[in-house]
Amino acid sequence: MGGFLKFLFTFVIIAGLGLAVLGWFYVSRELPKEGPLAAEKIVYIPMGSGVRQIGATLLENGVIADEWMFRLGAIVLKTGGSMKAGEYKLAPKISIADTIKLLQSGKTYQRQLTIPEGLTSFEIVELVNAAEAMEGTLDISRLPAEGSLLPETYNYTHGDKRAAIIDRMAASMKKTLAEYWTKRDPKSPIKNENEWVTMASVVERETALTTERPRVAGVFLNRLKIGMPLQSDPTTIYAVTEGKGKLGRPLTTADLRIDSPYNTYVAAGLPPGPIANPGRASLIAVLQPEEHQYLYFVADGTGGHAFGRSLDEHNANVAKWRALQRQK
């Protein structure tokens, strides 16, 4: 009887091991198979999720068809608790094996926030507050200093702080200013960083053409050298709106007479500070302007401007511009 029990015990062990091996082979064969996900999808795995919670999230999002197979896969692939929280972009038909490997890698989905050149700090804060998947809300009444944020595209991940991305913009601007200030034209009337960023912000708002910015910068610098008012519409618009959104209408004669240091139709020299956040091209244009004798410019109907050395030339260009407007 003792021999039979020993035999039975041995048989059970061998059978159990055989079933385990067969199960392992079955699971290993199933894990690489295509999954049910029909189209690319971004899925968020919350912090602190275990294998069971991750499996439930993937099942709910249609990434896997069998939660138990996912759990077994986690055991077979020896990931255990090494899968990481975050937002992941999952490809169509992604297998359980590849899903586990992706979550184990921690290569989370990178979101992007593009800050266009020439926005005011108010407008940038509005964009950041509207960005998806960030945490925290920026206080619109406590804006970053005008001209202190560098416009460009910033990567971020789900859960990043809005205040942190503003800090990154400020650090990028500070680094850019330090890099380019040493490359300035020693003959320039621009004497310090505030004047530089202020002039660059004016250039930024005057033209959208990167190739035209050095010429526009040259016009304003020529005016500064001879004590001629800048007479820049964007500075007057800033005086009216205080940088809080678009004016939404043409400037009026009353606007051009407004008593403000930002109204360069009545105030001499540069405004006291930037009127927007300029990009690299405008910053470089002010430090390395085109040398010429132009003192005037007006829209030419093609997105650029016509430049004039004298008031007579300018008036002729204005007449052409008005004729184009009438034709339209």
pTM: 0.85
What per-residue confidence (pLDDT) applies to 20?
44
pLDDT tens digits, residue range 287-322? 999 999 999 999 988 889 999 999 999 999 898 888
Q: How confident is the model at residue 78 (pLDDT cuts 50, 70, 90)?
A: confident
Average pLDDT value for residue range 145-157: 97
pLDDT tens digits, residue range 27-57? 667 788 899 999 999 999 999 899 999 999 9
Residue 24 has pLDDT above 80, yes or no: no
What per-residue confidence (pLDDT) applies to 283?
97
Average pLDDT value for residue range 70-86: 80
pLDDT tens digits, residue range 159-176? 999 999 999 999 999 999
For the ranges 15-24, 112-121, 296-305, the lowest mean pLDDT is seen at 15-24
Average pLDDT value for residue range 131-142: 92
State both tokens at 158.
């789900």
Q: How confident is the model at residue 25 (pLDDT cuts 50, 70, 90)?
A: low
What per-residue confidence (pLDDT) applies to 10?
46
Q: How confident is the model at residue 245 (pLDDT cuts 50, 70, 90)?
A: confident
Q: How confident is the model at residue 4 (pLDDT cuts 50, 70, 90)?
A: very low
What per-residue confidence (pLDDT) applies to 254?
94
Percent of the chain beyond pLDDT 70?
Answer: 91
Question: In the predicted model, what is the mean pLDDT of the chain?
Answer: 89
182 vs 293 pLDDT, higher one: 293
Cα separation of 231 and 224, whole Å?
11
State both tokens at 99.
């899903």
Average pLDDT value for residue range 271-292: 96
Alpha helices in the chain (DSSP H): 2-30, 51-60, 67-76, 96-105, 121-130, 162-180, 193-206, 213-226, 233-241, 253-256, 280-287, 311-327
Complete DSSP assignment for 165-220 = HHHHHHHHHHHHHHHHGGGS-TT-S--SHHHHHHHHHHHHHH---GGGHHHHHHHH
Percent of the chain beyond pLDDT 90?
Answer: 72
Helix 280-287 crosses helix 162-180 at what angle (to 10 degrees)? 20
What per-residue confidence (pLDDT) applies to 82?
84
**Domain edges within the chain:** 32-109, 111-172, 185-292
Cα separation of 118 and 205, whole Å?
6
* Class in CATH terms, 32-109: alpha beta
pLDDT tens digits, residue range 183-234? 887 878 899 999 999 999 999 999 999 999 999 999 999 999 999 999 999 9
What per-residue confidence (pLDDT) applies to 185?
78
State both tokens at 259.
């008593």
Q: How confident is the model at residue 248 (pLDDT cuts 50, 70, 90)?
A: confident
What per-residue confidence (pLDDT) applies to 79?
59
Return the number of other C-beta atoms located less than 10 Å from residue 9's C-beta. Answer: 10
Residue 11 has pLDDT above 60, yes or no: no
